[in-house]
């Protein structure tokens, strides 16, 4: 069996910056309120004509370039997304075509904000099983198109962007670069985060989701560490879904991971659902905040409710 590892990351954000003060002009909120409750200072929002597919392509292109692989070396493309405008065709097949990847396996995966970790686990399994050699994994979201811009409880949180990773085989005798994924769901709480109907907007029971995320996620993260054979003290970077800075800090505190090792990309990126983890990883890599060869802990969680976590080796 061939183990898998991450070769490179790539990220993309739309140009348009929306500050908290901008939002205070359209809903009853304030910069102070948003910063203290959610931790966001600004976010990026795509223009009307910029699609999930466009953003996925941009992030995918960067990850592919950073990996040094030719498009022809990719034989599977997985796009984690919950916000495409149409359910078909898939984002992944079009993105693959635009990137010059010829006839790869291609599918979209929806596990909402947990999507990237599900997709990364699936990519790792495909490499291990021999059904793919190199996989392009993308998380891409245009949450702004599903948000009610008169609902101050959600429109201040969600944002747009994409992040990607290239997954390939480990060398012989090289330790696995993607640890076992710990994934699960709580369908009994499906009503906590929903979009109702084709023209509906996102609704979230913020308090219930906060309670769930701050109590049920750190055991999942710990399990991912255990299954990868590491402890939280070994983790050089903790990159949870950038849902809410208060959730991120609560989980990190319970795991005993010091603040300087914890991703806080949400401050300027907002909550980009399945894109948030690879977007944070690509930015941290660019800024030299990741130490190659060390273990990083990822955990995604959100609508479903669903969640997934794994330990990766930083490329």
DSSP letters spanning 50-71: --HHHHHHHHHHHHHHHHT--G
Token code pair at residue 291? 């130490």
Nearest 10 degrees: Cα torsion 312, 81, 281, 71:
80
CA distance readout (Å), 39 to 15, 61, 141, 163, 277: 21, 30, 20, 21, 16
Neighbours of 266 (CB within 10 A): 27
259 binds another protein (CB under 8 A): no
Q: State the number of CA atoms in the 13 A half-sphere of 212 facing the CB.
A: 23
113 is catalytic: yes
Instruction: Find the shortest distance in angstroms from Cβ 246 to another protein.
Output: 5
**Residues 136 and 145 sit within 8 Å (Cβ to Cβ):** no
Query: Least distance (Å) from another protein to the CB of residue 244?
Result: 8
246 interacts with another protein by CB under 8 A: yes
For 191, the token pair is 């009503």
Cβ proximity to another protein: between 211 and 259 the closer is: 211
CB atoms within 10 A of CB 237: 23
Exactly one of 82, 113, 117, 225 is catalytic; which is it?
Answer: 113
* Overall residue count recorded for the chain in this entry: 315
DSSP, collapsed to helix, strand or coil, labels residue 156 as coil
Each residue 31-70 as x (binds another protein by CB under 8 A) or -, in order, gives -----xx---------------------------------
Cis peptide before 89 (omega within 30 of 0): yes
Catalytic annotation present for 271: yes
Tell me whether residue 76 or residue 209 sits nearer to another protein (CB atom): 209
Q: Which of 20, 134, 241, 244 is catalytic?
A: 241
CB 305 → another protein: shortest distance, Å?
Answer: 15
How near is the Cβ of 215 to another protein at its closest, in Å? 6
CB of 247 to another protein, least distance (A): 9
Please report whether residue 72 would count as binding another protein according to CB under 8 A: no
Span 19-38, contacts to another protein by CB under 8 A: 36-37
Contact 280, 152 (CB under 8 A): no
Residue 173: Cβ within 10 Å count? 5
Q: How far is the CB of 210 from another protein (least distance, A)?
A: 5
Helix or strand or coil: residue 133?
Answer: coil
Residue 170 annotated as catalytic: no
For the window 136-165, what string marks contact with another protein as x by the rule CB under 8 A?
A: ------------------------------
**Which residue's CB is nearer to another protein, number 107 or number 210?**
210
Query: Taking CB under 8 A as the rule, which mask of x and - marks residues 198-217 in contact with another protein?
Result: ---------xx-xx--xx--
Residues in contact with another protein by CB under 8 A are: 36-37, 207-208, 210-211, 214-215, 246, 250
Q: Which sequence positions are flagged as catalytic?
A: 113, 241, 271
């Amino acid at each position: 069996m061939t183990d898998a590892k991450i070769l490179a990351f790539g990220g993309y954000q739309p140009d348009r910056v929306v500050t908290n003060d901008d939002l205070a002009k359209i809903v009853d909120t304030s910069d102070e309120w948003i910063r203290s409750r959610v931790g966001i200072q600004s976010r990026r929002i795509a223009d009307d004509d910029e699609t999930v597919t466009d953003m996925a392509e941009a992030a995918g292109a960067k990850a592919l370039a950073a990996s040094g692989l030719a498009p022809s070396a990719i034989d599977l493309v997985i796009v984690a997304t919950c916000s495409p405008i149409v359910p078909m065709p898939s984002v992944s097949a079009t993105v693959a075509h635009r990137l010059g990847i010829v006839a790869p396996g291609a599918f979209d995966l929806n596990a909402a904000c947990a999507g990237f970790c599900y997709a990364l686990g699936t990519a790792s399994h495909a490499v291990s099983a021999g059904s793919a050699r190199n996989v392009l994994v993308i998380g891409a979201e245009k949450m702004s198109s599903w948000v009610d811009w008169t609902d101050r409880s959600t429109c201040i949180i969600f944002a747009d962007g994409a992040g990607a990773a290239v997954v390939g085989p480990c060398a012989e005798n090289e330790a696995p670069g993607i640890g076992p994924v710990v994934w699960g769901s709580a369908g009994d709480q499906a009503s906590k985060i929903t979009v109702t109907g084709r023209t509906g907007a996102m609704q979230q029971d913020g308090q219930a989701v906060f309670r769930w995320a701050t109590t049920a996620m750190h055991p999942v993260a710990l399990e991912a560490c255990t299954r990868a054979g590491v402890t939280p003290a070994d983790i050089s970077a903790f990159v949870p879904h950038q849902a809410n800075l208060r959730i991120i800090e609560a989980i990190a505190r319970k795991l005993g991971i010091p603040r300087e090792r914890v991703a806080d990309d949400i401050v300027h990126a907002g909550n980009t659902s399945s894109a948030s983890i690879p977007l944070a990883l690509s930015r941290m890599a660019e800024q030299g905040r990741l130490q190659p060869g060390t273990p990083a802990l990822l955990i995604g969680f959100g609508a479903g409710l669903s969640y997934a976590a794994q330990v990766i080796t930083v490329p």
